[in-house]
Each structure stands twice: as structure tokens, then as C-alpha cells.
Amino acid sequence: MDLDREQARSSEDEGISTALRSAALHTAAHRLSAFKPTSVLRTSSLTRPGLQALVPIAILILLALLSPVMLRVGAQRVLMPWNDTRWPVRYAIDDITPPGPYAIDAPIAIRGLVGNPDTPLSDTTRALINWRLLDESGDAIGDWSRTLLMPQRRRGGEQGIPLYEQLIDARERAARFPEQQRFTLEYRISTRDDQSRTRSVTMVRPPVLRSTSVELELPAYARPIADRGIVASGTIESKASDTLIAPVLRGSRITLSWQFSKPIAKDEQTPEWVEQVGELGELIAFDHPDESSMRIELIARDSLLIEPAIRDRAGIPVRTPITASVEVLDDLRPSVQIVEPRRDEALSPRAMIDINAELSDDLGLTRSAIMAQVAKVPAGSAGAPPEPVGEPVTLVTQDINIEMRSTIQHTLDLTSLGLVPGDELRLWAIGWDLRAVDSDPSIGRGASSVRVFQIVASDDLIEQVRRSLDPLRNNLRSLDVRQGEVQQLVRQQSDRAAEEQRSLSERLRANQSALSQLDETVKRNRIEDEALRSTIEDANRLLEEAADQSEQADDQIRRGSEDAAQSSQRRVRDRLGELLSMLDQGQDAWMALRNVQQLRSDLESISEDTKQLAQRTAGQTLEEMSEEDRSALEQILDRQLQNAEDARQAVNTLDQRAQELEENDPTQAEALRRAANDARAAQLEEKLREAGAQIGQNQTGSANQTQEEVLEELEQLLEELENTIQNRDNALRRELASIIESIKGLIDAQEREIVRLDRAMLDDDLGGMDARLITLVGNTLSVRDEALGAFPETRTIAEHIGRAGNAQNSAISALRSNTPDADAAQQSQRGALQH
């Protein structure tokens, strides 16, 4: 084949084709421009049919505007006949019941919209629901049932159609079927012009909690008490829906497992209730061991309430809420308390004390100890507080076999510690519980408060004990006076007598307790003052007897035995009188005054009884008197003779007190001596014995007259004594006020001298520092002399002021030595302030 010839021929053919196409297009365009449509189409023949077609179109448009529902339904019935679309009716039914599934153990609410949006709520109709229950195999359980769908008088749905509702309860029909059975509820709703299609919903039984299992594992340190029942441990099984787990020790591992009656739903994400558990405890694990169980594992940190939300795979929740309450118990430190000695106090260097501590712990104690620490004033720092010396000493230790309560005791002889006056002894007890570890003694450790004992010289301690007797003596004086008042209440047959006597008994016992503590102090400190020891022991015995008699009087008053009660009350005052006489030691005139007051009180009682007897037996001889009156006469006679003897002793006591006070308080001594002379001049004892003789002869009227005369004499005597004592008390108060004011001036002057010496030490110029101190010493000794010669009560003050003066003299000596010692002088001056 000749390729060049063929290519030339192809190019020639293409040129001919292009020319032919151009000629054809030109001819067609010329013909089309000359064409007129009217020559082919006649429009006049189409006008009438077009107008006829517009009429139904307009009708359809109008129908769409007026009733779009009718148009929609009509179009569906024409275009989609297979859709079973129905024409609108007056009481159309729209079933709005959710598709389920539902729980079979509760009624299901069937809801339907009946009517249309324009239907008034008052326009109700008879709506029926037909239903039946099918088992899992599709077999009917019973026949069809029919019930009314009740109007709810409100609208529902987006279009606001009247709402109808009815509860369908299928529980009875399902009761005899197995628990795992599933059911189907079939129902349809009908009105007079409509009926819904038959609808099916699934119904199942809700999940039920079968059991709860709790496993508790104690922290390692607490496992020795696992079987003691102190805290929860081991396995706990329960079938209840609410489980209380208590008490749970903090740090315990808890594994909670729940078993249900059917498979339960598993959440794709961590449930909210599990997250809440993790906020209050240390969550370890949460899982489902099988399809019907659930488990959570945590470390208990705080008390919490676990409330799991459980649903089955159909979304049906458990009916009874499930809760697990965990009450967490903190392992507290041991509680330790020193019960003996009961308080801080002063001790002599020779004291021997019994130490007793009580310990308790919520779980168990393992060890205890009693510790001691000696503190001394730093050398060259007089006036400074004591500071600990060396390390604390362990006095005794004790192992404890995990007991919740324990005690530890020890007897400490202070001579073994080498203590001197001015030192301090500090004692405390320690207990350890199960948490205790050797590597850190502070863990699981509890300590008592520290008892602090000031070490003082034996002589100072004896003085403190003696001073402690003064407030006791004042209390007993008050109680003695009060007993006299209660005696008067008994004579008046007052309703308050028994209660007042009981109150008096309680106060006597309280004072006996205070006296017993002083006795313990003397014995504990091994004080070798036999007179003081004997005084306290005798006082304790007398006070106990007085308290016993007071309690007996209280019982007798309540039983109505007035005579016996008055006898017991007199014995109370007798014991108190002996005790006060022993404690008074001739310091003032109060005891003498008290004896005269009691003499008067007893005589008043005798005189009143004598007067009443005289009125009852006026004009009668002894033979004519009744047996009861003769017995009363004999009792009055005995009391009158005893009263005469008491008068003799009271006068002798006035002389004795005057002699005892002669040296210390001449003014009071003179007043008492004058009172004794007046009593003898008035022949009190003789007159009282005369009244006794008159009573013995049944001359009660004459005896009563004699008693009244003696009472007048006693009133006058008491008035003089009370005025003397009152004047002395007023003078004592004035003297104390003067001494206190002088002491304040001495303190101010001493503080100024201390400041001056500090400045002089800074300037290194001690010249003339002793001159002002010499003046201050003179003033101090002057105030001491004033206190020493004023009253016996101010002599203790004088002793302290004297010691302050001695310290000031030491400061002067330190400043006037060949090599002045300013530090020693300053320490002495500060020591003077302490006194």
C-alpha cells in the first residue's frame, strides 16, 4: 500500500464533507425563518378544553387550602392503595403508647389520642381497649379482655388531641409462669367510628436481688483481732436489699458482690454510682463475674453509702433500691490518763509516790510505760524556770496482750533521783496500740498529760499542810453554825429539815475527802512531824463520826423520830466542837464564842420543852401526871443537868482561851477573861442546877423562869464577845490592807532597782548601787516588823517578807565585795521578788 497516496486521498475527502455540511445548514436556516406557526397550529380549537381543565385544578387547590388532611388522604388512597390509608373520622384513634418493653409486675399505661385537634375536651366518646396476654410460645393466657379507655380531660401530642388512658394489669395472669418467662401483651383500641390495628408489646419480670456477699480483709497490722468482733471482718452474707457494714476499720479491703435473678445490663462506661464510690474510697475493681452478678472492690477510707443502679438487658430496673452502708472507724491513738497522783502538787525530796495510769484503745493495746523527767533551774539563773536535764527516764514498761483497757503502776522513791528544793519532777504515761512499729515510735502512740511536781523543803511542805487546815477549819465552823440552824428547823417541824440535814451530810463528806487528801500528802512525803500526823488522823476520825451522825439524823428526821434526830444533831456538834478545838490551837476566840452559843441554843430548846410541859401539867402532882408526861419530865431533867455541866465547861474554856491568847493577842485574851468573870458573877452554872432541882420537884413553872433569867445573861455575854471579835476582825482587815499597800510599794521599788542594776551592768559602772538597796532593805524589814507584831494571821506574811529582806542583803553583799558580782546581785534581787 502507498501510504502517501492514501493520506492525500483522505485529506481531499474531508474538504468535500465540510462544504456539504455548510450548504445544508444554510438551507435549513432559510426555511425556518420563513415558517409561521399559525399556519400549522390552530389555537382557537384549544381554548375551551383548557378552560374545562382549569376547573378541577382550581377545585383541588381550594380543597388543599380548606382541608389539607382530606387532600393528603385522598392522594394516598389513589396513589398508594397498598398503604391502607383511611378517610378521617370524628373519633379517630392514635395509639401513643411507647413500644416498651415493660415490667410485668406493674400495670402498663395504654394511652391514645381520640378525636382531632378541634374536638372539645367535653366531647368524650366510648373508647374501648381489648387485650390479652401471650406466653413465650405465643399461646394466649386467658381470653380477650375489654375495658374502657378513660378520658383524661387534657390534650396530648403535637396537635393537641384529647388524651385517653387506661392501666392494664397483667400480673395475675403471669403469676403462675416461671420467673424467666417473657410475655407479649396484645391490644387494640376502638371507638364507634374507628379501630386501631392490633399491637404487641413485650413484658418481662424485673431483676430481683438474690443475695449480697461482703468480704472484709483487715489491714495487716489489725489481723490479730480479726476474730474478736471489735471491727467487721471475714464474710457477711445477706438477702436484704439494704446491707449495713459496720464498723469497718479504715484501710480494710471490701469486696461487695450482688447476685440477681436474671442477666443484668452491662454499662459501656463506668456508672456514675461507681465513680461516687471512687471519690470516697480507693476503688480497686468493678466487674461482672457472670451475666447475673456484679462485684465492686475498694479500700475503705471514709464512711459511704453505695447505691448501685441495676437494670436488666431490657432496661427494667430492680424494684427495691439496693444500698450498702459502710461505716468506717478510725483507729484512734490510745487514751492514757494518770489517775494517781490526781493532780500537780508539791513534794519533798524524800517523798514516795504511787503512780497509777489507766489506758484504753478502740482496738487493742500492746505496750505501756511510765516516764519521768527531772528539770532544774539553770546554774546562775535564779528566778528562771526549771529546764529539763538529760533524757527522759523510763520508770517501768509493760507488755499488753492486745487488751482494750489496761493499767500500769509504779512506786517511785524520789530519793533515787537526787532531787533538791527548786527542782521539778515531770511524770507521764505512754501507751502503744496495734499500729506500733519499732522503726517509728510515734505511730500508734498515745501519751497522758504531764504531771508536774514542785520539789520543796520538808519544812515548807509542813507549813503548806498546816495552812491547808485553815480553810478546812473555816468550813467546819460554817457547818457547825449550820447544824445549829437545822436543829432549830427540827424543833419547828419544818419540811425543809430533812433536806437541809442531807445537804449538811454531803458537805461534811466533802470536807472529809479534803482532809483525807492532806493525810495522803503527809504520808506520801514521809513527813516526820508526829504532831501534825496525829492532828490530821484525829481530825479525820472526828469528821467521819460527825458525818455518820449527820446521816443518821437525816434518816431519823425522815422517819419522824424528832427526839432521836435532835440527839444525833447534838452529837454532830459535839464532834465538830472537838475537831474545831483541836484545829483552832488557841489562835482566836471563836471556839469560846461557839461554846457559849451552843449553850444558849441548848437552853432555849430545854426552856421551850419545859414551858410546854408546865402548861400540860399545871396543878398536877407527880402521881397525877400521865406516864408520858413523867417520861418527858425525866428527859428534861437530864438535859437540864447536862446543860449546867456545859455551862461550867464553857466558862472554863473562856479562861483557857484567854490564857492561850495572852501572848499572841492580849486584847482578845482580856475580853475572854472578862467574859469568864462575868459568867461566874452571874452564877450561870448554879442557876442552871437550881432549875434542874426545880424540874425534879415538878416545879416546871419556876424552873422555866430561872431558865429565862439565864438566857438573858447569856445574850448579854454573847453580845460582848461578838463585839470584841467583830472589832478584832475589822482591825485585822485594816492591818492587811496597810500591809498589802506597803508590799506593793516594796515590789515597785525592787523592780526599779533591778532595772538600775541592768543599766549599770551595761555601762560597767556599779558605783553607788548598794546605797539605794540599803534603804530598800530598811523599808522591807520595817514592813516585816509591822506584819510580825500585828496579828497571828499576819505572821506568815512577815516570814515571806523577811526572806525577801535576806535576799536583798545578799545582793548588797555581792555588790560590796572586793570583786563586785553583779550577776549574783541581780539573781538575789529577782529572788526577793519571788518571795
pLDDT at 829: 79
Same domain, 481 and 589: yes
Whether residue 544 is predicted with pLDDT greater than 80 in this model: the reply is yes
Q: Please state whether the peptide bond connecting residue 247 to the residue before it is cis, i.e. omega within 30 degrees of 0.
A: yes
Give me the helices (H) in 34-134, please: 47-66, 68-79
- Please tell me which residue, 53 or 412, carries the higher pLDDT value: 412
pLDDT at 11: 47
In the chain, what percentage of residues exceed pLDDT 70? 89
pLDDT at 19: 62
H-helix or E-strand spanning residue 799: helix 795-816
Least confident span in 240-249, 318-327, 791-800: 791-800
List the one residue out of 277, 300, 458, 434 whose CA is nearest residue 366. 434
Cα 386 from Cα 380, distance rounded (Å): 12
Cα 131 from Cα 138, distance rounded (Å): 14
Banded pLDDT at 60 (limits 50, 70, 90): low
Same domain, 561 and 705: yes
Is 599 part of a structural domain of the chain?
Answer: yes
Is 527 part of a structural domain of the chain?
Answer: no
C-alpha cell at 74: 385522598
Pair 568, 548: CB distance under 8 Å: no
Question: Between helices 590-616 and 562-584, what is the axis angle to 10°?
Answer: 160
C-alpha cell at 278: 471512687
Cα 345 from Cα 353, distance rounded (Å): 11
Distance of CA 361 to the CA centre of its chain: 18
Summarize the confidence of residues 159-186 as an average pLDDT: 91
Is 590 part of a structural domain of the chain?
Answer: yes
**Which residue matches cell numbers 437494670?**
311
Phi, psi of 232 (to 5 degrees): -70, 135
Question: Between helices 822-834 and 700-763, what is the axis angle to 10°?
Answer: 160
- Please tell me which residue, 405 or 804, carries the higher pLDDT value: 405
Banded pLDDT at 49 (limits 50, 70, 90): low
Q: Please state whether the peptide bond connecting residue 101 to the residue before it is cis, i.e. omega within 30 degrees of 0.
A: yes
C-alpha cell at 562: 424528832
List the one residue out of 168, 154, 170 whose CA is nearest residue 122. 154
Is 7 part of a structural domain of the chain?
Answer: no
How many CB atoms neighbour CB 527 within 10 A?
20
Question: Among the three residues 152, 172, 204, which one is the final residue of a domain in this structure?
Answer: 204
Same domain, 780 and 815: yes
Cα 333 from Cα 477, distance rounded (Å): 48
Same domain, 507 and 628: yes
Same domain, 217 and 119: no
Cα 796 from Cα 786, distance rounded (Å): 12
Q: Please state whether the peptide bond connecting residue 792 to the residue before it is cis, i.e. omega within 30 degrees of 0.
A: no
Residues 6+ apart with CB under 8 A from 125: 91, 114, 115, 191, 192
Same domain, 659 and 753: no
Task: List pLDDT tens digits, range 393-422.
Answer: 999 999 999 999 999 999 999 999 989 888
Q: Is 597 left (phi over 0), alpha (psi -120 to 50) or beta?
A: alpha
Is 450 part of a structural domain of the chain?
Answer: yes
Give how many domains the chain has, as a whole number: 6
Pair 613, 633: CB distance under 8 Å: yes
Same domain, 199 and 259: no
Whether residue 244 is predicted with pLDDT greater than 60 in this model: the reply is yes
DSSP character string of 610-677? HHHHHHHSTT--TTTS-HHHHHHHHHHHHHHHHHHHHHHHHHHHHHHHHHHHTTT-HHHHHHHHHHHH
List the one residue out of 530, 377, 378, 525 whose CA is nearest residue 460. 525
Is 385 part of a structural domain of the chain?
Answer: yes
pLDDT at 35: 56
Same domain, 740 and 728: no
pLDDT at 51: 66
pLDDT at 8: 43
Same domain, 475 and 615: yes
For residue 763, the one-letter residue type is D
Same domain, 97 and 131: yes
Residues 6+ apart with CB under 8 A from 256: 212, 213, 214, 295, 296, 297, 306, 324
Same domain, 349 and 427: yes
Banded pLDDT at 324 (limits 50, 70, 90): very high
Least confident span in 86-95, 200-209, 329-338, 499-508: 86-95
Cα 808 from Cα 750, distance rounded (Å): 9
Whether residue 321 is predicted with pLDDT greater than 60 in this model: the reply is yes
CA dihedral 10, 16, 22, 25 (to 10 degrees): -90
CATH code (residue 297): 2.60.40
Cα 760 from Cα 367, distance rounded (Å): 57
Residues 6+ apart with CB under 8 A from 310: 207, 209, 258, 260, 264, 294, 317, 318, 322
Indicate the average pLDDT of the chain.
Answer: 85
Cα 542 from Cα 479, distance rounded (Å): 14
Helix H, strand E, coil C: the string for 709-734 is HHHHHHHHHHHHHHHHHHHHHHHHHH
Whether residue 298 is predicted with pLDDT greater than 80 in this model: the reply is yes
C-alpha cell at 608: 421551850
Banded pLDDT at 81 (limits 50, 70, 90): low
Banded pLDDT at 790 (limits 50, 70, 90): low
Banded pLDDT at 76 (limits 50, 70, 90): low
pLDDT at 68: 66
Pair 428, 447: CB distance under 8 Å: yes
Summarize the confidence of residues 340-360 as an average pLDDT: 92
Cα 277 from Cα 254, distance rounded (Å): 12
Question: Among the three residues 732, 761, 795, which one is the final residue of a domain in this structure?
Answer: 732
Is 536 part of a structural domain of the chain?
Answer: no
Same domain, 449 and 487: no
C-alpha cell at 97: 403508647
For residue 484, the one-letter residue type is G
Question: Among the three residues 204, 236, 256, which one is the final residue of a domain in this structure?
Answer: 204
Banded pLDDT at 534 (limits 50, 70, 90): confident
Range of the domain at 112: 93-204
C-alpha cell at 119: 374536638
Summarize the confidence of residues 634-658 as an average pLDDT: 88
Is 26 part of a structural domain of the chain?
Answer: no
Whether residue 28 is predicted with pLDDT greater than 70 in this model: the reply is no
Most confident of 435-439, 462-466, 501-505, 715-719: 501-505
The overall longest dimension of the chain from CA atoms, in Å, is 199
List the one residue out of 222, 409, 420, 178 whose CA is nearest residue 329. 222
Cα 694 from Cα 677, distance rounded (Å): 26
